[in-house]
C-alpha cells in the first residue's frame, strides 16, 4: 500500500472494495425486501385458497388468491375477526422467539448498513484504510458474527413453523400446510449469499490467516504420557507428529 495517506487506494484494491460495495448493496436490498414481505411463516389452506402469514415486522396477515387480497393486523390486535376468517382469527399471539427474530432481523440490517459504510470508506480514503488496517482481523471476526445471526434466525423460523406455534392443534385440518414463506427466503438466502461474497472480497487474507492458525493448532496438539522412573515423576509432552517415529 502506498505510503501517502492523502490519495485513494491503488486500483487493484479499489476494484476489490467496489466489488464488496456491490455485494453489500445487493444484500441490503434483498434483506429489506424480505423484511417487508410478511410471508415468513405461512399456513396455507388449499380448499379455501387462502393463507395466514406471520412475519417479523409486528404484523399478522391474511391473504386470499381469488380474488387477490391481503389484510394485516398488529401482533397485539385482539379482535382478529375484524379481518381474519374463522380459524385464523384464533391464532396464537406472537411468541417470545418471534420477538427475538424481529430484533435479530433489525440487527442484521443495521450491521449491513455499518459494513457498507465501512467498505465505502475504503473506496474513498487511503487514510481510512491505513487507520483500520491493524484492526482488520478483528473486523473480519465481527463480520462473521453477523453470519451467525442469520443462522440463528433460520433455526428460530424453522422451529416456529413446524412446531404448531401459530394455530391451536385442534383447529388444524389435515389439508392445512405449514411452510417457510418467500419473505424469509428472500431475507435469508438473498441477503446472506451476497454478504458472504462481500466478506470474501474484504477479508480474503484474514480468512487465510484464520485457516492457517487453525491448521497449526491441530498439527501442534500434544499428548500426555504416563510418568516413568526415568522422568522422576515429571510429565512428558510429546508432539503428535512424534508418535509415528
Grid cell, residue 27, equals 444484500
DSSP per residue, 165-179: -SS-GGG--TT-EEE
The CA distances from residue 78 to 44, 72, 92, in Å, are 22, 13, 11
Task: Check pLDDT > 70 for residue 105.
Answer: yes
3-class DSSP state of 187: helix
Higher pLDDT, 16 or 52: 52
Q: Residue 118 in contact with residue 139, Cβ under 8 Å?
A: yes
The pLDDT of residue 2: 43
Residue 99: other Cβ atoms inside 10 A = 13
The secondary structure of the chain in percent helix, strand, coil, rounded to multiples of 5, reads: 60, 15, 25
How big is the CA angle at 34 (ends 30 and 40), to the nearest 5 degrees?
150
Does residue 245 have a pLDDT over 50?
no
At residue 17, the pLDDT reads 78
Mean pLDDT score, 181-210: 86
Q: Which domains does the chain have, with CATH numbers?
A: 11-202 (1.20.140.150)
Q: Is the distance from CB of 189 to CB of 151 less than 8 angstroms?
A: no
Q: Is the pLDDT of residue 33 over 70?
A: yes
Do 98 and 53 touch, CB atoms closer than 8 A?
no
Distance of CA 2 to CAs 12, 130, 169, Å?
A: 12, 10, 66
Residues 6+ apart with CB under 8 A from 220: 239, 240
Q: What does the pLDDT read at residue 208?
A: 64
Residue 74, pLDDT > 50, answer yes
The fraction of the chain above a pLDDT of 70, given in percent, is: 78
Amino acid at each position: 500500500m502506498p505510503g501517502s495517506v492523502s490519495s485513494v487506494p491503488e486500483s487493484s484494491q479499489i476494484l476489490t472494495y467496489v466489488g464488496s460495495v456491490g455485494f453489500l448493496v445487493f444484500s441490503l436490498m434483498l434483506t429489506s425486501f424480505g423484511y417487508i414481505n410478511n410471508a415468513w411463516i405461512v399456513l396455507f389452506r388449499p380448499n379455501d385458497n387462502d393463507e395466514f402469514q406471520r412475519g417479523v415486522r409486528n404484523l399478522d396477515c391474511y391473504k386470499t388468491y381469488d380474488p387477490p387480497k391481503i389484510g394485516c393486523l398488529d401482533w397485539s390486535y385482539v379482535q382478529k375477526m375484524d379481518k381474519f376468517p374463522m380459524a385464523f382469527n384464533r391464532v396464537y399471539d406472537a411468541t417470545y422467539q418471534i420477538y427475538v427474530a424481529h430484533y435479530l432481523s433489525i440487527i442484521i440490517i443495521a450491521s449491513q448498513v455499518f459494513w457498507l459504510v465501512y467498505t465505502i470508506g475504503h473506496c474513498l480514503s487511503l487514510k481510512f484504510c491505513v487507520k483500520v488496517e491493524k484492526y482488520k482481523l478483528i473486523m473480519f471476526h465481527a463480520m462473521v458474527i453477523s453470519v451467525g445471526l442469520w443462522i440463528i434466525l433460520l433455526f428460530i423460523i424453522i422451529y416456529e413453523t413446524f412446531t404448531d406455534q401459530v394455530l391451536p392443534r385442534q383447529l388444524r385440518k389435515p389439508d392445512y400446510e405449514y411452510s417457510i414463506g418467500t419473505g424469509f427466503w428472500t431475507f435469508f438466502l438473498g441477503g446472506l449469499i451476497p454478504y458472504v461474497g462481500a466478506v470474501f472480497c474484504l477479508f480474503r487474507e484474514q480468512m487465510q490467516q484464520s485457516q492457517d492458525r487453525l491448521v497449526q493448532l491441530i498439527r501442534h496438539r500434544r499428548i500426555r504420557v504416563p510418568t516413568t522412573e526415568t522422568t522422576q515423576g515429571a510429565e512428558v509432552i510429546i508432539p503428535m507428529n512424534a508418535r509415528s517415529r
